[in-house]
């Protein structure tokens, strides 16, 4: 009798396990390039982002999420590997963790190995030619690499006279599906519809990479028209932080490569206004493409059993501090949008101010989907904040950035940043010796996004600098042998 009961218990456990496998949630994993927190759900009254706002209303807004390095390739490879840039030795635009950290099993591959159908459409890993990662996916990636000239629709901008960078912004009378993001959205919709028709019961991990609002700011003209007369607030602060070190700044080289932007010197007021409106318009276009995918998720019946994650790979400067684009350790570049909506979460439409890192997404999705853990992950699950947005969180979040920045090769200096609830501390270290060549300390007033004054040399801040420097050991302090 006891043996029979044991056998019945085994059958019940097996049935429960099979049932659990059948109800494993799907994952819709949406990456957005160069997206700062200028969204309606983050309190920006000028933004027109209705689709992301609706997603936030049924999920959780992580108001203080931080990238590990504010430029595309290191940020994305850090998130997808679950390890910090130093751990995978990826700090530039061309290195791939498969060469520098071959033991890594990245997030989508982990899902694939555990029975998920994994597909990528658009920019998930870095969008350069040759930066695809076939082992991560069940089928080849779509639109992983696109020519920059494909961002433009006007014939005068499709002539590669200065390489592939033409005008910094273009809003033409053209259909959405002629743009790379429109094509990616249409492909994602088609995949969801196909999966629904097939009814295989196999869970999916669908990654969709939206390229806008990355430069150039291009989209159908209706998005520009919506912002053409919007009186955006003035750039503030227009100057770098007082007493900030020169090493923390850059010359906005990414923007200056476009044909309508001066190679050196200040940008005139009209161009600044156009660029800022162009960024908002491109963001609205990105939101619309995300809306198309979310709409398909609803129509196909997958909404109630799909985790939706929308994340920005890094932030962006729009003239603040005299800077354009990313590549700093400042708040505007390291702080990113992060929205998660999950089946069964107890609180919806909530905001949490707990400090989180993009590294946290790997262990979070593992927990939410009931997958086995992975060793050496350096983030931690934030699934608990979906039910209780006010629970206590980590003390600090970490970011880093190298200097000089060329986009390729090993740098000479690395700036390591630690962000607490009210302060940011940065140590700039010579890579081979670990010598500190500059320090920064900034205080933030509430939800402030921009630094005003470097307090690192103030005698009354000495204890705080020491305290925050002591938080840095989780990040390797030198990169040399």
Q: Please give the positions annotated as active site.
A: 72, 126
Inter-CA distances, 112 with 27, 54, 109, 371, Å:
12, 29, 5, 11
Q: How many CB atoms lie within 10 A of CB 7?
A: 10
Q: How many CB atoms lie within 10 A of CB 185?
A: 26
What is the secondary structure of 96-155 as a DSSP string? Answer: -HHHH-TT---HHHHHHHTT-EEEEEESSS--STT---GGG-SS--BSSS--GGGG--SG
Q: How many CB atoms lie within 10 A of CB 145?
A: 14
- At 225 the three-state DSSP class reads helix
Q: Which residues contact 229 (CB under 8 A, 6 or more apart)?
A: none
Inter-CA distances, 92 with 76, 185, 317, 403, Å:
11, 28, 20, 11
Give the strand pairing for 317-318 and 204-210. unpaired
DSSP type of residue 242: B
Give the strand pairing for 317-318 and 338-341. unpaired
User: If you search the block for the tokens 């080289």, which residue do you land on?
Assistant: 253
- At 212 the three-state DSSP class reads coil
């Amino acid at each position: 009798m006891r043996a029979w009961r044991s056998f019945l218990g085994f059958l019940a456990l097996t049935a429960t396990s099979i049932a659990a496998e059948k109800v494993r949630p799907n994952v819709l994993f949406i990456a957005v390039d160069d997206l700062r927190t200028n969204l309606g759900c983050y309190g920006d009254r000028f933004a027109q982002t209705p689709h992301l706002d609706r997603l936030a209303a049924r999920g959780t807004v992580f108001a203080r999420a931080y990238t590990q390095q504010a430029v595309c390739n290191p940020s994305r490879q850090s998130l997808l590997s679950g390890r910090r840039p130093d751990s995978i030795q990826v700090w530039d635009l061309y290195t791939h963790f498969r060469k520098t950290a071959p033991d890594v099993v990245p997030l989508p591959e982990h899902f694939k190995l555990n029975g998920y159908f994994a597909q990528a459409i658009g920019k998930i890993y870095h969008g350069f030619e040759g930066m695809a990662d076939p082992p991560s996916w069940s089928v080849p990636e779509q639109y992983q690499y696109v020519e920059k000239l494909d961002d433009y629709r006007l014939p005068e901008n499709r002539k590669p006279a200065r390489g592939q960078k033409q005008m910094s912004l273009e809003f033409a009378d053209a259909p959405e599906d002629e743009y790379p993001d429109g094509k990616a959205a249409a492909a994602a919709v088609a995949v969801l519809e196909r999966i629904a028709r097939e009814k295989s019961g196999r869970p999916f991990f669908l990654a969709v990479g939206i390229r806008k609002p990355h430069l150039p700011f291009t989209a159908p003209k209706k998005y520009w028209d919506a912002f053409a007369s919007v009186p955006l607030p003035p750039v503030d602060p227009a100057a770098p932080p007082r007493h900030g070190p020169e090493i923390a700044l850059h010359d906005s080289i990414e923007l200056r490569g476009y044909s309508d932007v001066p190679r050196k010197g200040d940008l005139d007021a009209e161009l600044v206004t156009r660029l800022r409106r162009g960024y908002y318009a491109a963001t609205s276009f990105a939101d619309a493409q995300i809306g198309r995918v979310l709409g398909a998720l609803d129509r196909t019946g997958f909404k109630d059993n799909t985790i939706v994650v929308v994340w920005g790979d890094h932030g962006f400067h729009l003239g603040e501090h005299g800077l354009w684009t990313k590549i700093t350790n400042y708040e505007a570049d390291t702080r990113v949008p992060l929205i998660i909506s999950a089946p069964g979460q107890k609180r919806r439409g909530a905001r949490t101010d707990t400090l989180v890192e993009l590294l946290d997404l790997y262990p979070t999705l593992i927990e939410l989907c009931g997958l086995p853990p992975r060793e050496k992950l350096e983030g931690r699950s934030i699934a608990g904040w979906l039910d209780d947005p006010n629970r206590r969180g980590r003390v600090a979040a970490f970011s880093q950035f190298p200097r000089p920045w060329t986009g390729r090769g090993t740098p000479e200096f690395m700036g390591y940043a630690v962000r607490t609830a009210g302060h940011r501390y940065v140590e700039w270290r010579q890579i081979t010796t670990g010598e500190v060549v500059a320090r920064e300390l900034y205080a933030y007033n509430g939800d402030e996004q921009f630094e005003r004054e470097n307090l690192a040399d103030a005698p009354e801040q000495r204890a705080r600098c020491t305290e925050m420097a002591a938080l840095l050991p989780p990040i390797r302090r030198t990169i040399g042998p």
